[in-house]
Amino acid sequence: NAGVTQTPKFQVLKTGQSMTLQCAQDMNHEYMSWYRQDPGMGLRLIHYSVGAGITDQGEVPNGYNVSRSTTEDFPLRLLSAAPSQTSVYFCASSQRMQGEDQYFGPGTRLLVL
Amino acid sequence: AQKVTQAQTEISVVEKEDVTLDCVYETRDTTYYLFWYKQPPSGELVFLIRRNSFDEQNEISGRYSWNFQKSTSSFNFTITASQVVDSAVYFCALSELYNNNDMRFGAGTRLTVKP
């Protein structure tokens, strides 16, 4: 099992550019989520999905889109990057949403200039 | 909404000292789950423990122990005889059973263990 994988590891964008952060898991987990980590603020939930075809917003969804066409993949899209989106992004998965310890990917460090 | 507070931003200890990381939470739910995660300098998040709100027994795992007290809404984490490898950022997190927003993390405590 590869667990949760994320690509790329590091990305530099210019303001206004778009990009997709990839996340995949091979554990057949139903629940997947995206967090961003900023200094002094812990991790904040951006979007989550309880299964293929179902997504919902978390605490800080503005500026991000997601889709879940398969159980394995949960990409995060930035349509028009802003400097405020400079952060480290973590994808996570678990068998269920509630009460399950989540498996985190290695993170993607994004710098928006 | 649920909230997790880790008041200690940074802690520095000398190897072999005991250290306690504090975590205070707020929730309206009667059923919830508390977690601790470790983030070493390499950046990945490592799951340490999960407790549900109905189990207030303290837990010990090697040099790690956790003290869950519902009366004070706290879930503190103690490392006994700390080691340099314990240096990391530690996050406390809360997940409510009926809240679709899933986990809320504290801001984290950066622990530095000096040789």
Structure tokens at B66: 């956790």
Structure tokens at A103: 């498996």
Q: Which of chain B's residues have a Cβ under 8 Å away from the Cβ of A92? A: 45
pLDDT in tens, B6-19: 999 999 999 999 99
Query: Please, which pLDDT band fits residue B58 given cuts at 50, 70 and 90?
Result: confident
pLDDT in tens, A41-55: 889 999 999 899 999
Whether pLDDT at B101 is above 60? no
Is the CB of B47 less than 8 angstroms away from the CB of A101? yes
Whether pLDDT at A94 is above 60? yes
| Residues in Cβ contact with B35 at an 8 Å cutoff, skipping those fewer than 6 apart | A101, B47, B48, B49, B50, B51, B92, B93, B94, B95, B103
User: Could you tell me which chain A residue has the CA closest to the CA of B33?
Assistant: A99
State chain A's mean pLDDT as an integer: 93
Interface of B with A in 55-84 (CB under 8 A): none
Query: Please, which pLDDT band fits residue B57 given cuts at 50, 70 and 90?
Result: confident
Q: Which of A4, A44, A29, A76 is nearest to B91 (CA)?
A: A44
Is the CB of B52 less than 8 angstroms away from the CB of A99? yes
User: Could you tell me which chain B residue has the CA closest to the CA of A60?
Assistant: B101
Q: Which of chain A's residues have a Cβ under 8 Å away from the Cβ of B37? A: 104
| A88 touches B: beta carbon within 8 Å | yes
Query: Please, which pLDDT band fits residue A1 given cuts at 50, 70 and 90?
Result: low
| Residues in Cβ contact with B62 at an 8 Å cutoff, skipping those fewer than 6 apart | none
Q: What is the DSSP letter of A101?
A: P
- Give the angle subtended at the CA of B107 by the CAs of B61 and A39, to the nearest 5°: 120
Spatial distance between the Cα atoms of B11 and B8, rounded to a whole number of angstroms: 7
Whether pLDDT at A73 is above 60? yes
Strands (E), A31-95: 31-37, 43-51, 54-57, 64-66, 76-78, 87-94
| Residues in Cβ contact with A102 at an 8 Å cutoff, skipping those fewer than 6 apart | A31, A33, A92, A93, A94, B47, B103
Spatial distance between the Cα atoms of B84 and B45, rounded to a whole number of angstroms: 18
Q: What is the DSSP letter of A73?
A: B
Q: Do the Cβ atoms of A32 and A91 come closer than 8 Å?
A: yes
Structure tokens at A16: 């206004």
Is the CB of A43 less than 8 angstroms away from the CB of B105? yes
Q: What does each C-alpha distance from A55 to A5, A30, A87, A101, A104 come to in angstroms?
A: 19, 11, 22, 19, 18
Q: Which of chain A's residues have a Cβ under 8 Å away from the Cβ of B43? A: 88, 106-107
Whether pLDDT at A97 is above 80? no
Q: For residue A32, how many other CB atoms are within 10 A of its CB? A: 30
Write down the pLDDT at residue A99.
Answer: 63
Write down the pLDDT at residue A59.
Answer: 87
Spatial distance between the Cα atoms of B42 and A107, rounded to a whole number of angstroms: 10
Write down the pLDDT at residue B97.
Answer: 77
Query: Please, which pLDDT band fits residue A100 given cuts at 50, 70 and 90?
Result: confident
Q: Which of chain A's residues have a Cβ under 8 Å away from the Cβ of B102? A: 33, 45, 48, 58, 97-98
